[in-house]
Amino acid sequence: MRILFAASVLAAFTGLTSIASAEPVGSATRVQRYAYQTPPQAGRGPLYRLNAVVRNARLETVPSGALEVTFTDGSRLTLGSASNVVVDNYVFGTGQGAGGQTLKMTRGLFRFVSGSMPKDQVRLQTPSVTIGIRGTTVKIKTDEKGDTIFFEHGQGFIDNGKGQTVQMGEGDMVKVGPNGQIGTPENKDWSAGDEAVDYGLNPFGQQNHGPDGGTGGGDGAGSSGGGSNNN
């Protein structure tokens, strides 16, 4: 019995040490319901507001949950309900042209707002395509049926790695098949159908959708957070 207890304590300590030694690249700035982080070489654990997000970690939300991560360059990633992403690469340098950011979006709903990272070094990846940006806000839905990608602001491109690259302008929406075939962009509004993604997480704990809606977000692990201001 003592041996089992000691082994459990050692495993928990090892996991905490792995998290502590991982490289922080941002923080969880808003959380609704439950969100989780699985750092490299560590176990999956709950992610609370203001907790550090580390490089190479997998981030997850539960159904009806959501998460906003603010990276050290000021870029923001919102995960909607039942979403999964890996912070595959993040290096924010101080020199001109330094750094790089790669986010692998496995499934779910996402909204990415670019920061001061050099835009030619930012890549958003789904199972089917790679998205490049130029000063951009992008909304993405990815599942077994393929991707829907909407350039809310800015421009960029989508590359399926099979010889097809499509340029995207502000307001363009495009569908991508599960085989990576990219459709023809259409300049029209597109809603992800998830408030956290469509409103940038502003409504957390509040009814208002203004620029300050839901400021502070929830603390995670079941706390809705936010205030009761309904203005």
The 3-state secondary structure of 166-209, one letter per residue: EEECCCEEEEECCCCCECCCEECCCCCCCHHHHCCCCCCCCCCC
Answer yes or no: is 218 within a domain: no
pTM of the model: 0.80
pLDDT for 98:
66
pLDDT for 94:
57
pLDDT for 202:
56
Answer yes or no: is 19 within a domain: yes
pLDDT for 215:
36
- Do 84 and 107 touch, CB atoms closer than 8 A? yes
Answer yes or no: is 80 within a domain: yes
Answer yes or no: is 224 within a domain: no
Q: Supply the CATH number for residue 164's domain.
A: 2.60.120.1440
pLDDT for 201:
63
Amino acid at 23: E
Q: 150: domain range? A: 2-198
Answer yes or no: is 147 within a domain: yes
**Structural domains of the chain, count:** 1
pLDDT for 93:
72
Answer yes or no: is 54 within a domain: yes
- Where do the H-state alpha helices sit in the chain? 2-21, 195-198
Average pLDDT along the chain, 231 residues, taken 10 residues at a time: 44 46 89 95 94 97 96 96 96 72 97 94 97 95 97 97 97 97 97 90 44 41 38 34
Q: Choose among 107, 91, 157, 111: nearest CA to 130.
A: 157
Answer yes or no: is 7 within a domain: yes
